[in-house]
A and B are shown apart, each in its own frame.
Chain A
């Protein structure tokens, strides 16, 4: 009986992994190509959630689900054009400061416009309900998030590994100078990747708004966990992030099963352990420009 309960936590950890993955994936993309550690990523996630709350009453939840990530991606293009672009080649500490400031501006901006109190938002009635599989329970909405996360990962994988666009992006990660020498301007690719990465954060915001509090600090809350996932997976590794997200979800679930107070601490312990044993992360690759 005990073992079944434990198994239930492990399977639930997969769903929670999808939740972390949606945020970590964009973070990893922007870091891989531009070398920018985007501390404002949580801010874009929060903007996505707030847009969902604003748009849903007008164009429905499905409409908001499409529109909100696109709007956040457009915001990403603007931010890339005026801010990120200046820091691709500079000391990472500068972009760290920039995005840290940006995160604070976004959080405080949301607080000034909407107030600090959480905005009411619920799962639309048509997506409510649970699926019972034997003794296990899965909310339909969470299964939906899981499916969308898989679709988002598949689409990102296809773009990065199966298109000519992706080939340039991957070459740019390894050796931007060589890409330039071949006469390919990397700039539009950088913009597109920033839009994609930030748009994924917006997507996560829309999807999680119905099941977690929509308040200004929601981005800061989730960002650290997303970073842990990226670091455990290995910087620049596509599959590493996916593997790490699932691992974090499962480890957290098992920890809460046995010793609930350490639920959040467990993921940091996991990170510390991975860094000690394998400093570049589980599936991290050597990237020339970061050596």
Chain B
């Protein structure tokens, strides 16, 4: 054994070096260092049950930075991204602080978990730096936890529920119907379940059951059996991330006959479900079939760069950076105070939708159109990406866009 000891140890060391290189991927990735560049922090979960979405978030923001720099940058300076994995609320908070104080970023974009988003928002407020939330849906972030430095390009839970609710009402799935919901057991899910309950109550639907599902659950069979026993008229998902993939797959496996709907959704997790599994009506903040010139341009640019279709998450991170670049150019400064003021003054932005969007001053929520989609029958799908058809957009052309937004109930008090 001893004669072979030396070479194998070397091989082991090489393996360790390889592992260290791999681990290095977790370190902050600074895209092109340049001293006079404007640094933008990007913080989002890359691991865990929201990891699949975080990857698309990074793709979106990278594409935006590339386009902005190719067009001459902002105020003649390049955009430089400092990107990190936010992991969990504690880490997200620590990393946000480090990005602002050590890396001197001009502002932060990102996050998907509502629990981590709250933590980053608090840091942003304390250090007076703009944070644009691209994936946290909790109404609470726009309510009791709102602050003048936290902006939301991601729609609030209320907006998702109103958007999909509009179509569920048209399909006659609400009034007098029995609903069974599965809810992700963390900040986002609890908040969404509350909004969904209010929606059902307001429109004459009944809640036959609501089960909290731990975020690390992979087997849904006990929940599916309970649903089957309750015999509801509609099964609705308040789940998040990988949970939705597992739910969709196993719901199809058990072949339950009840129609499915969702109050929160991400395209990536449905693309990952596999042929013949996806069903139901779901809301989206944006999808790749939205038929506007700027939306089509985005889809094309994304496909050229990454060879696949963009999802709703990448849309948020892409447009956030575009909005920041446009605003800094307009106010001719990278100062966070001026940026925050400009965003709050109701500046209009093209975010790939039929109507221009703006942040409302009450809670810094982006006011915009929302969409709903319906799963396609398996035999009508052209390929693995072609899993849904658009149902349309809300509010209607004549309606005020703000009708979707969370009610101005006075819980948000900007200090």
Interface residues of A (CB under 8 A from B): 5, 8-9, 12-13, 15-16, 19, 82-83, 86, 101, 104-105, 108-109, 111-112, 115-123, 125, 128-130, 137, 139, 141-142, 210-218, 221-222, 252-253, 256-257, 260-261, 263-265
Contacts and interface: CB of A to CB of B under 8 A. Distances in A.
Nearest to B8: A82
A129 B249 CA distance: 13
B51 A116 contact: yes
Chain B CB within 10 Å, residue with most, of A8, A15, A260: A260
Contact of A8 (B55, B225, B245, B276): B225
A12 B255 contact: no
A128 to B, nearest CB: 8
A260 B15 CA distance: 43
B213 interface: yes
Nearest to A135: B229
B254 A117 contact: no
Label chain B's interface by main secondary structure: helix
B18 to A, nearest CB: 8
A121 B254 contact: no
Given A109-B22, A256-B211, A213 B249 contact: yes
B274 A264 contact: no
Q: Which of B48, B271, B272, B273 has the most CB of A within 10 A?
A: B272
Contact of B225 (A82, A137, A261, A265): A137
Contacts of B252: 122-123
B253 A256 contact: no
Given A12-B221, A125-B276, A215-B245, 6 more contacts: A8-B225, A86-B8, A115-B55, A118-B273, A123-B252, A214-B272
B298 interface: no
B52 A264 contact: no
Interface of B: 8, 11-12, 15-16, 18-19, 22-23, 25, 46-49, 51-52, 54-56, 185, 211-214, 216-219, 221-223, 225-226, 228-229, 242, 245-246, 249-250, 252-255, 268-269, 271-277, 384
A121 B253 CA distance: 12
B249 A122 contact: yes
B52 to A, nearest CB: 4
A118 B272 contact: yes
Contacts, number: 156
A117 B272 contact: yes
Contacts of B214: 261, 263-265
B19 A221 contact: no
B52 A117 contact: yes
Contact of B218 (A15, A109, A221, A256): A221
B299 to A, nearest CB: 17
- Max count, chain A CB within 10 A of own CB: residue among B46, B56, B212: B212
Contact of A210 (B225, B229, B242, B274): B274
A128 B378 CA distance: 14
Contact of B221 (A15, A105, A108, A123): A15
B255 A217 contact: no
A263 B214 CA distance: 7
Given A122-B273, A215-B52, A260 B213 contact: yes
A21 B263 CA distance: 35
B51 A216 contact: yes
Given A16-B221, A125-B276, A118 B242 contact: yes
Contacts of B276: 122, 125, 128
Contacts of A86: 8, 12
B250 to A, nearest CB: 6
Nearest to A125: B276
A261 to B, nearest CB: 4
A263 B217 contact: yes
Interface-central residue, A101, A129, A256, by most chain B CB under 10 Å: A256
Nearest to A115: B55
A261 B23 contact: no
The 8 A-B pairs with the shortest beta carbon distances in the complex, nearest first, are: A118-B272, A122-B274, A213-B245, A256-B222, A260-B211, A116-B55, A261-B212, A117-B52
Contact of B222 (A104, A117, A252): A252
Contact of A260 (B49, B212, B219, B249): B212
Contacts of B255: 128-130, 139
B269 A123 contact: no
